[in-house]
Chain A
Amino acid sequence: MLKRTEGIVLKTTVFGEADLIVAFLTKDFGIMRGFAKSPRKIKSRFGSSLEPLTYSRLSFMGKEDSNLPRITQSDIIKPFNTIREDYSSFLKAAEIIDIALRFLPEREPHPELFSLMLGTLKGLERETDDRLSYLYHKIKFLQIAGLAPRLDMCGRCGCGLMERPSAHNRTKHIFYVSHGAVICSECGRDTGQAVHISEGALRFYASLLKWPIMSLERIKAPEMFIRDLALAIDSHIRYVLGTGPASADAVIYKIMTAK
């Protein structure tokens, strides 16, 4: 049966001499893998359409329940080659790809996540504040997947943390990674892994959950909010996954060796 959809190439794995197994995030079928015959040969009709991050119009051929349908056609809609040609940009893109591959089951349509991924790649290509695009993507991803941490109320007693606004946004709250929530000072006597997070960052998080991706271009977020939230969200993802994404090691390497 022939299937057509739009998809973003997430990862390719070399198979045999010149073949590839390609993982896509598709609009209609969620994450799916397909077999491409000889795309590594110089005169392949696939050209560069199966390079990671390429957004293309795809055709698959295979039985309804086939785990690995054959990719028969791939026409590029947007190549996003500027992201993948730069090591730093690709490292960031690689982490969101990695998270998608680890969190999402195959063949479960997620049109919202597909739009989010496309929007994030467009944002990264436009060179808006990419740290914010990257953070926004992870937060929205967790929200759509139903795994976003609760940062508006105490994860234990349920009291509202932001009902009594403090004098300034720098007041620190504590995010307990194992609870996936901020815990108020009354309940917070645990000794588990904790991340300090400013009240301003908590308010910013609540806003990010509501704002559409287009609004990112107009936002100028304080460095402290992004840093606090990034630390909390990355710790949360590591805890939920049980390990960090493989690409995170590369990010850490890049940071450690930066001059």
Chain B
Amino acid sequence: MSQGIIDNLVAELTRLPGIGRKSAQRLAFFILSMPANEAKSIADAIIRVKENARFCSNCYNITDSDSCAICTDSSRDKTSICVVEEPSNIIAVERTKIFKGLYHVLLGALSPLDGITPDKLRIDELIQRIKRDGIKEVILATNPNTKGEMTARYITELIKPLGIEISRIAYGLPIGSDIEFADEVTLSKALEGRRTL
């Protein structure tokens, strides 16, 4: 059997993040051993997502129709918005099963060093949405790093005059960790954000 097609598959798989040559080889041989219909189903799923995926016209989540499943779900609280940086963050928040409102994806975070200014994010759309849809609460769930924090502060400045409730997800220590290994910024934020029991 010619090694050409296997080498080609390995080379293509190494394009994926976190996949080195060895992992790609393992995946390639696993695909080779799969039933043809299963392998085809993976290939079809990749093609379908590339052909049909688009941003939700309301929240900028990834969807295959005009509005995403979360925006069209009538059981969700339509007065509360959780603001995240990327569509993948929605999956993480949804796993908690605690938040029952809607989302707004900014598609990035402010980064002056990389030339990412507010006009390159979906911040204007968020403000319009808040004004248009009668939103009562905004939760800022941007990443707890420099870019995410700056973005959250910037959005807060814009939203505060609208007189709606705005909050930031809490900072703190990850569950299962040890205080002695926490750095001073994380620990000081955890102390500042302590709550009465």
Rounded to whole Å, the gap between the CB of B52 and the closest CB of chain A is 25
Instruction: Assess whether A250 is in contact with B186, with CB atoms less than 8 Å apart.
Output: no
Instruction: Assess whether A47 is in contact with B117, with CB atoms less than 8 Å apart.
Output: no
Distance in angstroms between the alpha carbons of A85 and B157 in the assembled complex: 13
Interface size class of B (residues with CB under 8 A): 20 to 34
Count of A-B contacts judged by CB separation below 8 Å:
74
Classify the secondary structure of B's interface with A: helix
Instruction: Say yes or no for A52: interface residue by CB 8 A criterion.
Output: yes
Instruction: Assess whether A85 is in contact with B113, with CB atoms less than 8 Å apart.
Output: no
Task: Give chain B interface residues in 1-53, CB to chain A under 8 Å.
Answer: 17-18
Distance in angstroms between the alpha carbons of A249 and B115 in the assembled complex: 7
Instruction: Say yes or no for B191: interface residue by CB 8 A criterion.
Output: no
Distance in angstroms between the alpha carbons of A94 and B110 in the assembled complex: 12
Instruction: Assess whether B113 is in contact with A48, with CB atoms less than 8 Å apart.
Output: no
Task: Give chain B interface residues in 88-114, CB to chain A under 8 Å.
Answer: 110, 112-114
Q: How many residues of A contact B (CB 8 A)?
A: 33
Rounded to whole Å, the gap between the CB of A122 and the closest CB of chain B is 17
Instruction: Say yes or no for B182: interface residue by CB 8 A criterion.
Output: yes
Instruction: Assess whether A246 is in contact with B115, with CB atoms less than 8 Å apart.
Output: yes
Instruction: Say yes or no for B177: interface residue by CB 8 A criterion.
Output: yes
Contacts A98-B113, A249-B117, A253-B119 given: A90-B150 contact, CB under 8 Å?
yes
Instruction: Assess whether B174 is in contact with A43, with CB atoms less than 8 Å apart.
Output: yes
Closest residue to B119 on the A side, CB-wise?
A: A253
Distance in angstroms between the alpha carbons of A43 and B177 in the assembled complex: 7
Contact with B along A84-114 (1 / 0, CB 8 A): 1111001100110110000000000000000
Instruction: Assess whether A87 is in contact with B17, with CB atoms less than 8 Å apart.
Output: no
Task: Give the contacting residue for A247; candidates B112, B157, B182; CB below 8 A.
Answer: B112
Task: Give the contacting residue for A91; candidates B112, B119, B145; CB below 8 A.
Answer: B112
Distance in angstroms between the alpha carbons of A48 and B119 in the assembled complex: 28
Instruction: Say yes or no for B146: interface residue by CB 8 A criterion.
Output: yes
Task: Give the contacting residue for A85; candidates B112, B119, B153, B181; CB below 8 A.
Answer: B153
Instruction: Say yes or no for B183: interface residue by CB 8 A criterion.
Output: yes
Rounded to whole Å, the gap between the CB of A85 and the closest CB of chain B is 5
Instruction: Say yes or no for A257: interface residue by CB 8 A criterion.
Output: yes
Instruction: Say yes or no for A223: interface residue by CB 8 A criterion.
Output: no
Instruction: Assess whether B119 is in contact with A87, with CB atoms less than 8 Å apart.
Output: no
Distance in angstroms between the alpha carbons of A51 and B147 in the assembled complex: 9
Task: Give chain A interface residues in 213-259, CB to chain B under 8 Å.
Answer: 246-247, 249-251, 253, 257
Contacts A81-B185, A87-B150 given: A257-B115 contact, CB under 8 Å?
no
Chain B positions within 8 Å of A, measured between CB atoms, are 17-18, 110, 112-119, 145-146, 149-150, 153-154, 157, 174, 176-177, 181-186
Q: Pick 6 A–B contacts, CB within 8 A, sort by A.
A: A17-B17, A17-B18, A52-B146, A247-B113, A250-B112, A251-B112
